[in-house]
């Protein structure tokens, strides 16, 4: 008997993963932000505005966010 996943089981697993990801929200902790602005630089939907005076970013329109959390070197952005 094979232990390899079937196409059906793989698709069902993928569907469950997608459902879980859709239920997560983006959270930003401005206290952890050091002003690297990598989130701002890569964001395709303009959810971030750099605040150069405070060396942080302003996170706005989280409903449009596409999860740039992988870009934050300070882990100030996370999915919950």
> pLDDT tens for residues 24-63?
778 888 898 888 888 888 888 888 899 989 888 998 877 7
Distance, CA of 10 to CA of 38 (rounded, Å): 34
Domain holding 34, by residue range, is 26-79
Q: What is the pLDDT of residue 59?
A: 87
CATH of the domain at 38: 3.30.70.20
- Pick left, alpha or beta for residue 24 (phi over 0 → left; psi -120 to 50 → alpha; otherwise beta): beta
For the entire predicted model, the pTM comes to: 0.58
Q: What is the pLDDT of residue 67?
A: 65
Whether 68 has a pLDDT exceeding 80, the answer reads no
Q: What is the pLDDT of residue 40?
A: 87
Q: Is 60 helix (H, G, I), strand (E, B) or coil?
A: coil
Q: What is the mean pLDDT of the chain?
A: 81
Q: Is residue 19 part of a domain?
A: no
* Domains identified in the chain, total number: 1
The token pair at 64 is: 């449009």
Burial class (CB in 10 A: 0-12, 13-18, 19+), 35: middle
Q: Is residue 3 part of a domain?
A: no
Q: Is residue 11 part of a domain?
A: no
Q: Is residue 18 part of a domain?
A: no
Q: Is residue 14 part of a domain?
A: no
């Amino acid at each position: 008997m094979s232990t390899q996943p079937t196409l059906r089981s793989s698709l069902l697993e993928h569907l469950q993963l997608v459902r879980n990801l859709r239920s997560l929200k983006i959270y930003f902790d401005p206290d952890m932000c050091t002003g690297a602005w990598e989130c701002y630089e890569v964001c395709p939907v303009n959810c971030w505005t750099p605040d150069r005076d405070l060396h942080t970013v302003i996170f706005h329109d989280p409903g449009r966010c596409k999860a740039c959390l992988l870009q934050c070197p300070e882990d100030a952005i996370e999915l919950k």
